[in-house]
Amino acid sequence: MLTTWIDDLSQKVPLSRQPQDLQAYGRDWTRVYVPRPSAVVFPRHPEEVCEVLRFCSERGIAVVPSGGRTGLSAGAVAAEGELVLSLERLRHLGEVDPLGLTLTVGAGITNQEVHQHSEKIGLTWPIDLASKGSCQVGGNLATNAGGIRVIRYGHARQWVTGLQVALIDGTLLKLGTAVQKDNVGPDLRQLMIGSEGILGVITQATLRLTIMPRECQVMFLAVDNIDRGLELLSHARLQGRLQLQAFEFVAQNCLEAVMKVQDRACPFAQIPPAAVLIEVEGRLDNELEQWMEQVMSQGLVRDGVLARSSTERASLWAYRDNITESLGSLGLMHKNDIAVEVGRLGEFVHTLLSEVAPHYPGQMYLFGHLGDGNLHINVMKPSAMDPETFWEGCQRADQLLYELLRNLNGSVSAEHGIGLLKKAALSFSRGPHEVDTVRRVKKALDPQGLLNPGKVFDL
Ligand code: FAD
Ligand code: MLT
Ligand code: ZN
């Protein structure tokens, strides 16, 4: 009997063709494409990753790098018979360096494991997102993840000193170390971060850590609309002089979705049109309470809750953290993840609601990272509508959304990346010369176009 390349590869690394593995590892959190990988491999160390890639390169086999599969742009989808390269067994978890504040981990360590490991000595990796239990460091860096603390700390790319990356020809690159200051020519490490698995496979990273704030306070404040939320942001910074850790927006229907799915009571006396969840550094003192009273007496805030214990803090955060899962369990969602400069967000939302929203074939649900000018625009499929009609209607309305963003110099993907799902949007935020330059880099590193083919752009 003839042996296939899959038999050959299975002699070198753990490999699965079990139908449930092909289903589970052939997709991410999106549910738009049907997973159809040829097999899934589970290399156990960086050298095995290189061996797999060299094998694929020699035989012309397409490969999809796969992390925790929580991605929201279908970047880790294998719908065309590709080989899935799961990084989940790269589980090296180093010691925290208490002097240099760094930590070296394998790509398959989850975001939450990094947090738990660092917190033992009062440190944190400040990349914090609701998917933290499942998403992996490799995936966080491949997507340059944002999350709820970007307002204070920035994106993932600011919290890495060193990266180990395998190229499709099997070369293992060591890009940077634990050294903080290192200006030796162009920085390939930063090129790899955010490249969504199309340029190389991240096998290991040295993360930069920071000191956890001693104390943080969490407030959930009911507001009339997004404009009031933006006024509150300015007030918090300039009058309140608050050091913000998070400043998140939740529209009424998102709050209602979490209350319904999770069977949670309304945190306010009555359900408000919108709410803002704020986390600030520092102690719970008179000044903070006075600030809350001030914004309420000025009519900026209708009602508010201030957490008085860690349990209360977690329970307020649950209204924000569970939006994605709650909406997902209520129906099929079409998702956009946009950003404009925060000073133009009010203008953006007004045009969105008056001129764009009516063209979408379902109800719009808005939430997101207000302090960063980043909103998640979700549209739910009406139950009576068939999915094809829904997707087509959404795609038509998206053109209006992307035009609006182009006019405002906004971003069509603030934190989730482009993957397969947002390819049609790319040209609204990136010019042809820029895309072509990245395409030339891609061709130089991966001349056969085998690494995560079809993602971000077509060659
Ligand atoms: P995957 O989904 O497995 O892959 C994502 C992309 O990275 C794919 O293109 C894949 O090919 C590539 N990739 C994965 N691992 C590697 C590797 N080791 N080397 C090279 N390429 C690789 N994102 C945010 O930015 N902010 C948020 O606040 C946020 N909140 C979320 C909340 C929920 C409930 C969910 C479900 C998702 C959320 N996300 C958020 C999206 C997602 O969690 C992030 O994009 C995350 O960084 C993806 O990590 P992952 O390990 O799941 O990657
Ligand atoms: C979030 O901030 O919760 C996310 O990025 C997830 C989403 O957009 O659904
Ligand atoms: Zn987000």
Sheet architecture: strand order including 39-41: 15-16, 39-41, 83-86, 63-66
Q: Is the CB of 328 under 6 A from ligand 2?
A: no
218-234 pLDDT per residue, tens: 999 999 999 999 999 99
Show the tokens assigned to 434: 């820029």
Q: Is the CB of 46 under 6 A from ligand 1?
A: no
pLDDT at 343: 97
* pLDDT at residue 156 tops 60: yes
Task: Specify the pairing of strand 83-86 against strand 39-41.
Answer: parallel
Q: What is the mean pLDDT of residues 264-283?
A: 97
Q: Is the CB of 376 under 6 A from ligand 2?
A: yes
Q: What is the DSSP letter of 101?
A: T
Q: Which of 70, 321, 338, 376 to mutate to test ligand 2, by most ligand atoms within 8 A of the CB atom?
A: 376
The ligand 1 atom at the shortest distance from the C-alpha of residue 107 is: 18
- Residue matched to tokens 């040209």: 427
Q: Which of 129, 336, 375 to mutate to test ligand 2, by most ligand atoms within 8 A of the CB atom?
A: 129
Q: In this structure, are residues 417 and 75 in contact, taking their beta carbons and an 8 Å threshold?
A: yes
* 3-class secondary structure, 85: strand
321-336 pLDDT per residue, tens: 999 999 999 999 999 9
The ligand 1 atom at the shortest distance from the C-alpha of residue 90 is: 18
- Report the nearest-CA residue for atom 45 of ligand 1: 71
- In order of their start, the domains of the chain are 2-86 (3.30.43.10), 102-211 (3.30.465.10), 216-324 (3.30.70.2190), 331-416 (3.30.70.2740)
* pLDDT at residue 3 tops 80: no
- Report the nearest-CA residue for atom 21 of ligand 1: 197
Q: What is the mean pLDDT of residues 88-99?
A: 98
* pLDDT at residue 274 tops 80: yes
pLDDT at 243: 96
- Across the chain, what does the average pLDDT equal? 97
Show the tokens assigned to 198: 């199309």
Q: What is the mean pLDDT of residues 233-259?
A: 97
Helix spans in 331-451 (H): 345-351, 387-407, 426-429, 432-445
Distance from residue 27's CA to the centre of ligand 1 (Å): 12
Distance CA 261, CA 327 (A): 8
Q: What is the mean pLDDT of residues 294-307?
A: 96
CA distances from 304 to 126, 269, 291 (A): 27, 9, 12
Q: In this structure, are residues 192 and 202 in contact, taking their beta carbons and an 8 Å threshold?
A: yes
- Report the nearest-CA residue for atom 2 of ligand 2: 368
* pLDDT at residue 429 tops 70: yes
Q: Is the CB of 93 under 6 A from ligand 2?
A: no
pLDDT at 2: 62
Q: In this structure, are residues 54 and 47 in contact, taking their beta carbons and an 8 Å threshold?
A: no
Show the tokens assigned to 316: 């307020």
Surface-to-core class of residue 94, CB atoms within 10 Å of its CB (0-12 exposed, 13-18 middle, 19+ buried): middle
* Helix, strand, coil percentages, rounded to 5, for the chain: 40, 20, 40
Which of the ligands is closest to the CA of residue 72?
1
